[in-house]
Every structure is written in structure tokens, then in C-alpha cells.
Structure 1
């Protein structure tokens, strides 16, 4: 029983966050947060996860708390939570070598599951963290601070692309039937999204800020990047035609031929930009395969997404005289699915190592008990139960992100408007001549919240 007691002691030494995730899957832990955000009291959501930021999964909980406060309109608290997440990412970056705590967590994962390893988010989460922090600065009246954040977001997209191209060689080297089948399934679920780190929504936000702050050349560059990722968005197309004409770009004639001439505001009009976010990203699921090795039961569990994506409703904005329809700019759920696809080969390597380690432990305990004649093999039975119970897929991910982002842009006369999304209650919005009114709409299902600022 010494081996079994050693494992139990090791489990109890884990931090609270990691210990919870061993037996309680992460989506279940975040379900109360999402329910609160989809209620009349969203301000209580961040409090549910704020106390967990000091734990092993603190980076993830800081992201959840920041997003929760943001949905509730508390941009000051959101900025503080996001700063904690940024600091956690920086701490990962600054480690020149694996620390003893990380080495211990990785070793523990061989006997328990990947939830023991401190959470370090995939690239798309880190990119969106800076994008959302930029919006916090913007709605707090600090557009220059917002620019710093979106530029960081753009840098990260380039860095993640370079990192992926480097690691893709190892992915190809590990290719086999199991990996290929699961990656093909995830690829179909992700649709046309081919990389998790290229986010048209982030590029659009950066371009929008550059344009509003009087940097049209930079805006044109970022709109083009966004359009390469989301080529069918009509508002991006109109923006490119308009800026190409304004800047006398050589691409103007080509864009005009493809998408029509530029639509420009009159002197007495103001500009309204709509950013609509709908739903929540899907939760990771798990699939488990039971089997025996030399008579001992083992299981293998991995995270996955089921290919059951439903179309997201196109937003219809009323209150401007005519209905303004939003258009998708990014499927965040597809980014999440693609990120899991990119991570799958490494997860399978850890899974294989874990199966081997658990099998070795089980055989060791069985051999020890067989030396004692006429004794029931309680230790061997307990070890098999332990192996099955602790084999849990790593289902952690940033779950308060939206499922999809949509955009729209219109030029209207100055004045007060009552905007209504679909059939939801109207919200008052003001437009000023020669200025931009940014309207951020967050639809969590049962509730829709409007936040606006004149820039």
C-alpha cells in the first residue's frame, strides 16, 4: 500500500485549483459564472472566480474574472483582472528553464492527469486578452493605452504563427492513424478556420482604432489582414475601398471593381460602428477508451469538440430608420476547436507516457501483493480504481469568450437614437457630427447589454 499512499499524499499536496480539476471538470466549475452572466445580476459573476486567481490555474481564472467584469460593464475591475492574466503570461515567458514546481506538476500529470499542469492558455486566448484589454482602455477614455494593447495583440499573432510553423514539423513527424482521424474530425468541426492564432476580429479592432485616431495607413494594413482571414465580410470590403480611395492606393481600382465604389460620409454625418458578440464558446468534451494491460484496467481520456455547431443568428439593428444587419468577422468557437487540433499531438504524447506510468505502477503493486500468500489483492484493486477515477481529460479553456463576433458600420445624421437588437429592449445611443460612436453589444442569450462611447 506504500505506493498508493504516496500517490494520495501527492494528490493532497496539489493546489486547490489543480485538485478540483482532477475530479470536477472545468466546464462544471464555470457553469455558475456563465449562469450569472446570463442573468440580471452579472456583477456577481467575477466574484465567483476571483478567489481562485492565486492558484495553479490563476491565469485562466483571471481571464474569466476579467471577461465577467467586462460583460457587467465594470471596465476598471476588468482591467485589473486582465493585468493579472498578462503578468501570469509574462511569468511563463520569463522562465529560462522549467522550475521545480512545473517539473513536479508535469511528473504528477503522469500519474494523475493533465489538469495538474498549471494552465497556460493557447495563443488565441492570449491575443484576445490584449484585444479586450484595449477595449477596457478605450471605454475608460484612454485611446492611446488601447493602441498599445492592440499592437501587442498584432505582435502576438505574428509570434504565434512563427511558433506554429516551427512546431508543425514535430506534428507531422508524430502523425499516425489515431492522430489523423481526430485531427480530421476537429478540422471538419472548425469549418474554414485553418489556424487558431489568426483572428480577424482582433485585426479589425486594431484597424478601427488606428482609423479613429487618425492613422489611416495603419488602419488599411490591419483591415487587409482582417479581410484575408474573413474575405466575405461586406463591411471590411467597404472599408478597404474607402481607405484605398482616400489614400490614393494602387489597389483602389481593383477593390472598386470587386466590391463597388466607396461609401463616404457627408460633412454633417456621424459614424456608427457596431461590434456584436453572441453566445459563449463551446465547452470541451471528452472521450474515454477503457482497455486492459496484463489484466489491469486502464483508461485513456482526451479532450475533444463534437461537430454540432449551429449557425449563429445574424444581428439586426433597428432604430436607425432602416435595419442594419451585422456580418460575422470571427468565429471564436472555430478558433478554440483549431487550437485543440494544434495541441492534440503533444497531448497524445503525454497520454502515452501516462498510460505507461500507470501500468507500471499497477503491475508493481500487483507483484508486491502476490508475494504475500493468502492475502486479498486490495492494493491492486485500489490501484486500478485510482487509475480509472483520475484519468480525466483536460477540458480547461476560457469559457466566457463569445461564440461569434459580428460587425456593422453606418453613417447617420447626428442625434439620439434608440437602438434595438432583434426584438430586445431598446438602448439610447448618441451620434455626433464628424465623430465616431462605437457600440459594443454583448448578447449572452437571455440578456443583451449595450455599451457605447463617442470618439
Structure 2
């Protein structure tokens, strides 16, 4: 036990000397304040601004450093600065918040930078090193989980590519296709890596009998019944039909020029239905895409992101197991409520209901559930740290509770997550007369209209509409041009 305490203290020293190297903050709070707050607390100003409809004000504050003498820096310079000074988490948060304010070009630059940063992190082996012992090498020994650079979760990496593809689509650029394929491939890769990490953890627990024995006696699952039910709505955090849907939309748009591609679009739509049977939009599209487009009409796809992903809240519990007494802290995902229960789109006398595509809330909650085996290990190590500190305190003539309490205060469970991700993603597909200039997107709460947004659609060719809602706030954007003409 004393050896473990010495290791903990050495680890604390290493962390204090090295630092994390890249900022996770969005620059919305003072630097000193951000260091004492949980990640959700530092994100709170962004959430408040979005719910109040202050999108432009938020993005202006967040991206102020990229403006010099009243002009925005060149995009390549912005990307270089992002990669050198910020973590992947900070970059993707900025990217999505910028996309949600309607600046597709700048948002794409953020997602480019996030991909560069992610590739750099993974290519130098950093991810695998800090992935040991359940996601934190030294962090596992010291309890300073938030003291290490953030390691993006698998489903977050997938969404990085999906949003990058969406930016290209909104810019009317077919480059979206390759990025969408990367998202689909990445999802499979992350699933394989998760299974490999889980197998290694189970093998390690069998080798370390003491930690495994303590782990079995710890209740590390305090989730409510409602939260467990939401997590159970998806079979794993790596079953997200967003990428397949984006792929299907791209293939359908291409098939307007080349009918031989219709079958590819049909297969992609069917994959969406396999992973989310509630997506009646994809089910209908899988049949409709095989037919000729109606004469004198143009295709419109609507993608609506609503609400916020779950927050990771800090939890604490006093434990006494195997003669060890201490306080352990951990982070647990908690849903963020949304008022939106449905949505619809109106155009030229038609109405189409949006249907479920991605249950992002459930995916995040399922990821938290799937990580519980690592949580057991981290809590067992935390209890061992507290017990070691109590033992050392006794040797120094102090109360054992004092040592355990000091160690508990040093523990910083990782509360970070990509919080600007939506609670849910809904989609609709329809054809409108060629002369249609705008459509109306509406969100609903219990059958009553909650918010409305009008959006101009492309004068020629298919349109992809991206809408984003936060309770009473709703914004909608669309591509002005398309690589295909109708």
C-alpha cells in the first residue's frame, strides 16, 4: 500500500510538471475559473446563449481570437493555431457551435483541424498509452483523470466525420462522399478497438486479484431506471445510422444524374432501417429512390439536430471494503431534458413529419454503460489510494481519515464529453415544385408548435436543409447550390 501511495505522489508530480499541453476550454470563462470548474460548468455559458437564441454572440466570443484588425484570419492559419493550442474536444465543440450558427466554411475548417489533431494524437501512440488501465495510465494511479489530455470517445470520433461531411453537403460540394465513407469505416474500427480494449481489461483484472476482488464489491452504477432504459434503446454506442443516412442521401443525389446508382442508395437506406426501425423516412426512401423523380419537382432533405448530449456529472461515495476505508469519486453521464417531442416540414401545401435517425442521447448513455468495467477498476484503485493515505497518516501520528480525505480531494474524475452534440437527430425527405423558394421547419412539444423557421432552398437541384433546435429556439440553413442539377 505504501508503495502505491509513493507511486501516486510521483504521478501527481509528473502531471504538475507536464500539464495537459492543449486547452479544452472555449474561452468563455476566465482561465483560472475554468481550472476549478467541471467541464459541464465551463460549457454552461454556451448552453445558456443557445437557449436564449444568442448564436452569433456566442460564436463571436468563442472565435474572437481568429479576428485580427476586424478581419478573419486565413483559414489555414486558423487551423494551424487550433491544432497547436487546443485539444480535439475544444476544436470539435467550436466546430459544431459554428456550424449551428450557419458558418459552414469556418465550421469545416474546425473539423479539418480536429481531424488533423486526432490523426497526430493517434499516430504518436499517445492514445494507446493513456488508454491503458481503463483510460488513463498515470491518471488511474493518481485519480487526476481530468489532468490528462482528453481522449475522444469512439462515437465522438465518428460524429466528427459526419459533421465534416455535412459541411461539404451544405457547401454543395461532393467531397462529402469520401468523408461519409470515412465515418462509416471509423465506426467499425472504433467498435473493434473497444472489443479489444475490453478483452485486455478483463485479462488484466484476472491477473490482479486484489483490484478485481474489490471491484466486484463496489456498486459503480447509480443510474436511474429511466436512464438505463434510454441506454437500452441502442445495442451499442457503435450503432449509429447517421453515416449510412448521409451516404444514402449523397448516393440518391448522384442517382438523379446516373440511374445506375439508385440501388446503392436503396441499400444504404435499408442499412439505416436495420439500425433504427423507427426511421420511417429511410424506409420510405428505400422504395421511392428506385423510381423516377416526379416531373417538375426537386428533392429536399431535412436534417434536424435537437437539444444537448448528456453531461458527465461528478459523483461521490464513501466505501469500506476489504479493510479499506475511503471516499471515491467518479463521473456518470446524465441526460439533459429537451422540450421537443417531434418536428415537421411544410412546403407548397405539403407536410412531412420528421422521424428518428440517431438517438445521440442513448448512444452517449450506452457508451457510459459500456465503460462501467473500467469504472470499477478506477474506483477500486481510488479506494486503495485512500486506504494507503490513511495508513501513512497513522504512521505520522495523524488520523487515518485525514489522509483518506486529502486523497479524495485530489481525485478529479473525467467529466469531459462533446456536449454540443445533440440529444436526437430527426430527418424528413420530400419533393417540392421547382418554383418553391422556401420551406418551413417546425418543432413540436406534445403536439403543439414550439418554434418555426423559414429557410430558402436551392433555386436549382436538390437541397439539404440543416436545422438545429434548443427548446424554443430553432434555426435552419440550406445549401445554395448543388453539384447536381434537376
Q: Do they superpose with TM above 0.5?
A: yes
**1:205 alignment partner, one of 246, 263, 269:** 246
Distance in 1, matches of 2:367 and 2:341, equals 24
Q: 1:269 to 1:136 in 2, by over 3 A?
A: same
Q: 1:81 to 1:307 in 2, by over 3 A?
A: closer
RMSD value, Cα: 3.7
Q: Which residue of 2 aligns with 1:235?
A: 281
The structural deviation recorded for 1:38 is 3.0
The answer to which of 217-226 and 152-161 deviates more is 217-226
Q: Which residue of 1 aligns with 2:142?
A: 111
Contact 1:330-1:406 within 8 A present in 2 as well: yes
- After superposition, what is the alpha-carbon deviation per residue over 1:303-323, rounded to whole angstroms, capped at 9, x for unaligned? 223578678411022343133
The structural deviation recorded for 1:390 is 2.6
Contact 1:45-1:65 within 8 A present in 2 as well: no
Give the secondary structure class of the aligned counterpart of 2:311. coil
**2:187 alignment partner, one of 142, 153, 157:** 157
Distance in 2, matches of 1:64 and 1:428, equals 25
The structural deviation recorded for 1:410 is 1.2
**Residue 331 (str. 1) matches residue 344 (str. 2):** no
Contact 1:280-1:399 within 8 A present in 2 as well: yes
Aligned length: 426
Distance in 1, matches of 2:371 and 2:86, equals 18
- Structure 2: stretches of 5+ with no match in the other structure: 25-31, 66-80, 206-214, 256-260, 444-448
Distance in 2, matches of 1:304 and 1:99, equals 23
Q: Which residue of 1 aligns with 2:385?
A: 357
Contact 1:270-1:432 within 8 A present in 2 as well: no
- After superposition, what is the alpha-carbon deviation per residue over 1:125-167, rounded to whole angstroms, capped at 9, x for unaligned? 1111101001112222322x21121010010122123233444
The answer to which of 114-123 and 39-48 deviates more is 39-48
Distance in 2, matches of 1:338 and 1:99, equals 22
1:4-403 aligned at under 5 Å gives the runs: 12-13=16-17, 14-15=19-20, 17=23, 23-46=36-59, 58-96=87-125, 106-143=137-174, 145-169=175-199, 176=216, 178=218, 187-214=228-255, 215-243=261-289, 245-246=290-291, 265-291=293-319, 298-306=326-334, 312-367=340-395, 369-370=396-397, 377=398, 383-403=403-423
**Residue 443 (str. 1) matches residue 469 (str. 2):** yes
Distance in 1, matches of 2:45 and 2:271, equals 37
Give the secondary structure class of the aligned counterpart of 1:193. coil
Contact 1:109-1:116 within 8 A present in 2 as well: no
Contact 2:339-2:471 within 8 A present in 1 as well: no
Q: 1:281 to 1:32 in 2, by over 3 A?
A: same
Give the secondary structure class of the aligned counterpart of 1:315. strand
Contact 2:338-2:471 within 8 A present in 1 as well: no
Contact 1:270-1:431 within 8 A present in 2 as well: no
Distance in 1, matches of 2:128 and 2:402, equals 32
Q: 1:419 to 1:99 in 2, by over 3 A?
A: closer
Q: 1:68 to 1:170 in 2, by over 3 A?
A: same
The structural deviation recorded for 1:275 is 0.9
Q: Which residue of 2 aligns with 1:261?
A: none
The structural deviation recorded for 1:67 is 0.6
Normalised by the length of structure 1, the TM-score is 0.81
The structural deviation recorded for 1:182 is 5.9
The answer to which of 39-48 and 29-38 deviates more is 39-48
